[in-house]
Amino acid sequence: MVFTIVTVLVAAAAFLGLAGHRFLTTREEARSTILYGERAKKFFAWLALRTIQISRRASPRTWAAYLKGLPLWRQPVLEKWLFIGFYGSFLYLAASGFFFGLFVPRGLFGFPLVGHVACGGLFAVCLTVIVLFKGRDFLAMPRPAGLSLSLIDPRKMAITAARVKRWAFWVFASAGFLLTVTALVPMLPWFGTPGQKILFELHRYSAVASAAAALVFAGLEIFERPAPARSPD
Amino acid sequence: MSGPDRTPLRTAGAALVMALALAAGLAAQAGSGQPAAQAPAWDGHRTIPAHLIPLRDENDEPIIPTEAQPLPYSARYTCGPCHDYGTIRGGWHFGAMTAAASGRPGEPWLEVDARTGTILPLSYRRWAGTFDPRAVGLTAWDFTLLFGRHLPGGGPAEPSDAEVEAEPDARWSVSGKAEINCLACHNGSGRQDPGEWAKQVLRENLRWAATAAAGLGEVGGMASRLKGTWDVFDGPNPDDHEWAVVPEVRYRPSDFDSKHRYFFDLNYQPSDERCLACHAVSPKDEPKWAADADVHAAAGLKCADCHRNDLGHAMVRGYEAEASETGNKTAAAFTCRGCHLGEDAEGGKTVVPGRLGAPYPRHTGIPLVHFKRLACTVCHSGPRPKEGFTRVRTARANRLGIHGVAAWATDAPIIVEPVYREDGAGKISPQRLVWPAYWARRTGKDLLPIKPAEVEAAAGDILKPEDRIARVLIGLSQVMAEDETPVLEAGRFVFAPNVDAGLDAAGPTGGKADAPARWGIRKDGGIVPLVPDFDPAAEDKDPAVEARFQEFLQALATVAEKPGEPAILVRRTLYRLVDGFLDVSEAPAGLAGAAGPGWIAAGKLLPLASDFDVRTVTAKAGTEQTLTEEQVALVLAALTKAGATGECVYISGGRLFRLEKGRLAARKDRAAEPLTWPLAHNVRPAQQSLGWKACTDCHSGASDFFFDTIKGTGPLLTKSVARLSTSSFMGRGGLFQRIFGLTFLVRPVLKIVLAVCAFLVGPLLLVAGLAALGRFAGFLGRR
């Protein structure tokens, strides 16, 4: 139950955060007032309208066109297959894990579990390769900090989309590392039942963290990328 | 009105209310017709009081051991004054007929009748797959005679007066009732003999059984041989001192003190031997010295340390759902999880673990799902799964523990374990399994079993080929020398009579399966023909041969239910008895083609044993089956002819057999499915538990845990039997378990891959984190 609540709250926070970011950075009306209440009203009105617009536009053809337009397909062959494996395994892991974790009292079982274990291995390998060869692109070196109250003032933290993306990457990598460890260690004769319970919970909450980080990263990435050109019809 | 004036009225009102309440309480007590239950009064001391007490009989009269024909002791009136008998009667062992809740299924009573091929599961509790004895026409009297051997008295063996009157054919007035036998469990004396109890019950000496079994006195006589009009007040039968001898108890006066008090050597907690008298289970083919005890018993615990009860004798059975089912919250502390983990059925830490020194299990490396989906007993109890399962015999089903000249224990019914099946609580648990077998009438979808006696009556001779051949052989035995045994050679087997007037089959021999049956004499390890081939007309024939023929014919003449007069035909010479003398004559033309010993009937020479009899016993020889398909078809036809309402069917080996256009046809049916019940003991040591060695104890492509196949067994010799995989009992797909098992082949590779990934990513994350931290703290310069 706690896991369900945490998962829902984290997912809602990530979604609203991304939507809020887009609203604040792209919409004129967001800058028309400094009152938080007014901004919130305008935000939710925009969100509702945008949701309706997107849902009206959504169709298998649109999705196919969107997927076709992804830069993934234009990557060199090794990178292309690396990311296909990475995205594919992560999507299956998240879908199977959260569906069974949230909606099936018995938890993950049967063939979906076998698939989950298999995809887990693929995910760990892909993640390792990505961290090894792409991690340096996300190294964010902060300036040396002075001890002052500005350290805890969000307005002075210089939170930018690029920095959030970097943080999201490393949170994702850390959560992926924890997922790997908490999948490996329970298979070894090291921990008894209480330890197994802790590892299981750690696995689940690491999954929440990795999913939230992936959502933020993907949201910002997609937001930054120019929209594909519309077809003439 | 002033205050003092109101006070007397208040007092009077209160007194009136109290008086009414008292009257109502007294009325309620009087209305119940029962004395108020005595509260268990334990003074806190942990010793057992010495039970030097006067014995009382069923009339509540004191027993004077030196008096003539004293009655047996009565637990109701001897133990009852201090331990309320009415409270005890509701206990688990005695209250099955009246219990409101049935609890988790346990071992049913199995009515086994070899001749009719009946293995009928019975229980007064509403357990799936069992029949209520009352529904199949078994009265309390029938039930007591069938199973009283392993009943602790009470329950059906002690019916109410109304129930006695409702059973006019029962002989309760002769046998008396078998009261609850307190000593069956609590007697600490080595004299306690469960076998003696069984014998007394089978002699219908019900009221004497407890006295005899406890060794309080010696009981002679048999109520079963007395007339139905005899009453215990009639006393001995002066006209018969050999057969219909009245049961009588002779107490040992030396066991009584001068006040006629008897010393009972009692255990508050029954010893394990007492429990095992009825609850023993052993592998069938394992020698006694090789059988291990339960790990708890080996650690010094007694059965009653966990299976506790108060005066109500509502035994703690020890399964997880018991606390919620019975409302006895203490029961949660006596499950495996309660004692070892301190958890209740829901996993809550509501119980203090480590009771009686129970170790806390580490279960290192065991995924949590095992604790959610499996009962503890799956890995820890019963024999390890193996191909073909482990066949066991239980005290109650296979009549174990009754010792004497006759062999009481039986191989039937076939019970195997462990079969892993989901129990009612949603967990998989190891279970024992038996395939039911019975004749039944079908009305719609319902089957109502037919009593074996009814089947036998309708079947007539169809079910008795062994008897007929045995009668011939026993008849011939009378004229055999000490080193000679008459035998029948048929098929690849040699049949000889046994001491129980039955047939023993030896073989298979090297003979041909289709060789004609031959009567012979076994001597010095060889077999010679009963009727040697010789020329009766020859002048130099051995005169001893004809003398032997005369002996054979005289012996055969004594055979009961013979179809004709005995005769021996050699070539064209007929030997038979006329007025007790051997008559040698030329065989009539009607006997042409016949030869050997036989029965002359209607001008024909019939064989000593019919083709049907020989075919039937030969087919069953060397097997445990007692019926052939031919017999079943004939009996079904006979039952139909006998006018039974509804279609008659037979259940065996997981199949339902019925006549379709006169031929026997088998098909699946729910009624033929095997019956299972959870097992809990013996608990094996941790190192022998499943999964100790590796996950592949169960998770492999060919593990016996998932992929063994169980074949239906039953009294019918047939190829039409059910075949079920063990995974089907668990409700798990066999294909999935095979694929899942195969994944364990690559699991070491997966572990290595994950470990390598973790060892690569972990340090990189650490370095990146340290670099960021160092820069943040100013320890490191900008990149």
Domain annotation covers residue A119: no
Domain annotation covers residue A46: yes
Q: Give residue A138's pLDDT.
A: 85
Residue B424 has pLDDT above 80, yes or no: no
Region A108-125: mean pLDDT is 92
- The count of structural domains within chain B is 2
Q: Give residue B84's pLDDT.
A: 92
Domain annotation covers residue B550: no
Q: Kindly give, in sequence order, each residue whose CB lies less than 8 Å from that of residue A178, ignoring residues fewer than 6 positions away.
A: A202, A203, A206, A209
- The answer to whether B345 and B321 are in contact (CB under 8 A) is yes
Q: What residues of chain A, 124 to 163, have a C-beta less than 8 Å from chain B?
A: 124-125, 127-128, 131-132, 135, 139-145
Average pLDDT over chain B reads: 88
Cα separation, B548 vs B568, whole angstroms = 11
Domain annotation covers residue B7: no
Residue ranges in B642-733 assigned as alpha helix (H): 704-707, 726-730
Residues B100 and B202 reside in one and the same domain: yes
Domain annotation covers residue A151: no
Residue B783 has pLDDT above 50, yes or no: no
Tell if the CB–CB gap between A196 and B753 is shorter than 8 Å.
no
Residues B175 and B324 reside in one and the same domain: no
| DSSP tag of A146 | P
Q: Give residue B446's pLDDT.
A: 86
- The answer to whether A181 and A207 are in contact (CB under 8 A) is no
Residue B721 has pLDDT above 90, yes or no: yes
Region B697-722: mean pLDDT is 90
Residue B27 has pLDDT above 50, yes or no: no
| From A118, A183, A189, residue closest to B364, measured CB to CB | A189
Residue A230 has pLDDT above 60, yes or no: no
Tens-place pLDDT, residues B240-277: 888 899 999 999 888 899 999 999 999 999 999 999 99
Residues B335 and B214 reside in one and the same domain: no
Residues B107 and B58 reside in one and the same domain: yes
- The answer to whether B281 and B11 are in contact (CB under 8 A) is no
Residues B242 and B359 reside in one and the same domain: no
Residue B507 has pLDDT above 80, yes or no: no
- Across A87-101, B204-218, B602-616, least confident range: B602-616
Residue A171 has pLDDT above 70, yes or no: yes
Q: Give residue B782's pLDDT.
A: 57
Q: Quick one: closest CA in A to B766, which residue?
A: A174
| From B736, B754, B761, residue closest to A111, measured CB to CB | B736
CA atoms in the 13 A half-sphere facing the CB of B215: 14
Residues B340 and B216 reside in one and the same domain: no
Q: Give residue B4's pLDDT.
A: 38
Pick the residue of A151, A169, A191, A196 with the most B CBs within 10 A to test the interface with B by mutation: A196
Pick the residue of B727, B735, B749, B761 with the most A CBs within 10 A to test the interface with A by mutation: B761
Residue B11 has pLDDT above 50, yes or no: no
| From B364, B743, B772, residue closest to A192, measured CB to CB | B364
3-state secondary structure B434-472: ECCEEEEEEECCEEEECCHHHHHHHHHHHHCHHHHHHHH
- The count of structural domains within chain A is 1
How far away is chain B from the Cα of A61, in angstroms, using its nearest Cα? 36
Q: Kindly give, in sequence order, each residue whose CB lies less than 8 Å from that of residue B501, ignoring residues fewer than 6 positions away.
A: B467, B470, B474
Cα separation, B778 vs B426, whole angstroms = 60
Phi, psi of B278 (to 5 degrees): -110, -15
Cα separation, A205 vs B261, whole angstroms = 73
Cα separation, B189 vs B216, whole angstroms = 10
Q: Kindly give, in sequence order, each residue whose CB lies less than 8 Å from that of residue B133, ignoring residues fewer than 6 positions away.
A: B109, B122, B123, B124, B142, B143, B156
Q: Which residue has the higher pLDDT, B134 or B538?
A: B134
Residue B14 has pLDDT above 80, yes or no: no
* pLDDT > 70: percent of chain B: 94
Q: Give residue B7's pLDDT.
A: 42
Tens-place pLDDT, residues A158-169: 778 888 888 899
* pLDDT > 90: percent of chain B: 55
Domain annotation covers residue A19: yes
Residue B308 has pLDDT above 90, yes or no: yes
Q: Give residue B548's pLDDT.
A: 87
Q: Give residue B6's pLDDT.
A: 42
Tens-place pLDDT, residues B726-773: 888 887 777 888 888 888 888 899 999 999 999 999 999 999 889 888
Q: Which domain holds residue B90?
A: 53-266
Q: Is A121 on the interface with B (CB under 8 A)?
A: yes
Per-residue tokens: B432: 């024992």
Domain annotation covers residue A48: yes
Residues B372 and B404 reside in one and the same domain: yes
- Going by pLDDT thresholds of 50, 70 and 90, the confidence category of residue B657 is very high
At residue B349, what is the residue type?
K
Domain annotation covers residue B179: yes
Q: Give residue B30's pLDDT.
A: 40
How far away is chain A from the Cα of B115, in angstroms, using its nearest Cα? 47
Tell if the CB–CB gap between B757 and A145 is shorter than 8 Å.
no
Tell if the CB–CB gap between B753 and A125 is shorter than 8 Å.
yes
Q: Give residue A227's pLDDT.
A: 53
Domain annotation covers residue B503: no
Residues B201 and B244 reside in one and the same domain: yes
> Of B730, B751, B774, which marks where a domain is finished?
B730
Q: What is the interface pTM, i.e. ipTM, of the complex?
A: 0.89
Q: Which domain holds residue A6?
A: 1-58
Residues B262 and B336 reside in one and the same domain: no
Neighbours of B720 (CB within 10 A): 17
Per-residue tokens: B663: 């031929």
Q: Quick one: closest CA in B to A186, which residue?
A: B365
Residues B401 and B256 reside in one and the same domain: no
Tell if the CB–CB gap between B768 and A141 is shorter than 8 Å.
no
Q: Give residue A228's pLDDT.
A: 52
Q: Kindly give, in sequence order, each residue whose CB lies less than 8 Å from that of residue B421, ignoring residues fewer than 6 positions away.
A: B428, B429, B431, B676, B729, B730
Tell if the CB–CB gap between B758 and A180 is shorter than 8 Å.
yes
Residue B781 has pLDDT above 80, yes or no: no
Residues B239 and B349 reside in one and the same domain: no
Contacts of A106 in chain B (CB under 8 A): 372
Preceding amide of B508 cis, omega within 30: yes
Residue A91 has pLDDT above 90, yes or no: yes
Contacts of B750 in chain A (CB under 8 A): 117, 121
- Going by pLDDT thresholds of 50, 70 and 90, the confidence category of residue B38 is low
Residue B589 has pLDDT above 80, yes or no: no
Q: Is A2 on the interface with B (CB under 8 A)?
A: no
Residue A200 has pLDDT above 50, yes or no: yes
Residues B339 and B427 reside in one and the same domain: yes
- Going by pLDDT thresholds of 50, 70 and 90, the confidence category of residue B775 is confident
